[in-house]
A and B are shown apart, each in its own frame.
Chain A
Amino acid sequence: MANTTDLPKHDVIIVGAGPAALSAAIYTTREDIETLLFERGVPGGLAAITDWVDNYPGFVDGVAGLELATALQKQAERFGAVIELGEVFSITDEGDWKRLDTTSGDMLAKVVLIATGSDYKKTGAPGEQEYFAHGVHYCATCDGAFYRDKRLVVIGGGNSAVQEAIFLTRFATHIDLLVRSTIKASDVLQTDLQKFIDEEKITVHLNTTIDEIVGEDGSVVKVAATKDGEPTDFPTDGVFVFVGLSPNSQFVKDLVELDEIGLIIADENLMTKVPGIFAAGDIRSHATMQIASATGEGATAALKIREYLEGRKHPAQN
């Protein structure tokens, strides 16, 4: 292991470059706090792959997720934030410095902000893995266009499933929405959904669990499911899965405290139990999983990080 003194040093390293991270970076860099972000996927996080965001304040008619994500990124970069496309594998607390093991090697930071959000959960059904990107998908904005004039199955009953099923109606002729129990999406989305049900573009199947994604000659042909206790087949050309999210916290599970679903517990200053390590956005326990709350938390985290860094410089002020 390299000697600590030889390693690259940063004031703040932010893990992730989603809305929470980018907002934090706008605030830290604008206050001349040097900030490096690591992003293993796409800057903008889940917001970048969301088709349309209708509820982010300030946009009268809504805004494309990708446009919002790009604007957040450019704003952070304007103030000097540096986004490195790579992954943070682990973090070690070495007191005043935190050591990060990354795709660019080990490095040190005075403060780390974890803003890693979540990834899509899988159903675990037979066929899901086998047909990934060949009929099984997790990103409607990425892969929906391949289902023009085709039939689709969407699995899930939460906000994402309903929102994405509605998005996919612009391509597919018909969508079967398979819901394990009941629809849990917001009232606004359920009202939108009703329009598509009335137009017979979407059919909702409650109390339906999937047993297998079945293919023939390399293509998905049906979803074998159990509806109201009876085996039921749903013929389809493709399957989009939106059955919830799984928190990206495994890489720090032995460092910070996690709640029962794996979200990071932080105090009212958004600091974890490790001094100098903060958490914001969807990854924080009790987060409200919205872009507006993620950007708000990013801003709060940045201001608390500034206080923390100043406190270190002037302990008498604490």
Chain B
Amino acid sequence: MVKNITIFTTNTCAYCVMVKRFLDTKNHTYDVVNLDEQPERQAEALALSGALTVPVTVVTKDDDTREVIVGYNLSKLAPAIA
């Protein structure tokens, strides 16, 4: 089961909107870290994803295991939240 979801986004990122819409359609709530508003958390996004890009979606499960999905990648995101 999913415990919580965090999405790292920016104001102008279209693929971030797609991730949010997808999670909305699956009735998942999520926290948003907007890197335009919180640039100090950029290093955290980079450490999690290993890539200089957004969206980065972090799905934490009930057993505290984490799955990090880089970009708008439904083939990874869909099973991660199932």
> Which of A's residues lie within 8 Å of B, judged by CB?
41-44, 48-49, 51, 64-66, 69-70, 85, 133-135, 137, 141-148, 238
Contacts and interface: CB of A to CB of B under 8 A. Distances in A.
Contacts, number: 62
Nearest to A131: B52
Given A133-B51, A133-B70, 10 more contacts: A42-B17, A42-B72, A65-B14, A66-B12, A66-B14, A70-B17, A133-B52, A133-B53, A145-B54, A146-B53
B47 to A, nearest CB: 13
B14 A145 contact: no
B44 interface: no
Contacts of A44: 14
Closest 4 CB pairs of A and B: A141-B12, A48-B14, A146-B52, A133-B51
21 contacts: A41-B72, A42-B14, A42-B17, A42-B72, A43-B18, A48-B14, A48-B17, A64-B12, A66-B14, A69-B14, A85-B74, A133-B70, A134-B51, A134-B52, A137-B52, A141-B14, A142-B12, A142-B53, A144-B10, A145-B35, A145-B54
A142 B46 contact: no
Interface of B: 10, 12-15, 17-18, 35-36, 39, 42, 46, 50-54, 70, 72, 74
- Is the contact region of chain B dominated by helix, strand, or loop, or is it mixed? loop
Contacts of B42: 145-146, 148
Contacts of B51: 133-134
A41 B15 CA distance: 8
Nearest to B55: A142
A49 B10 contact: no
Contacts of B35: 145-146
B46 A42 contact: no
A256 B28 CA distance: 43
A142 B39 contact: no
A145 B39 contact: yes
Contact of A142 (B15, B36, B50, B74): B15
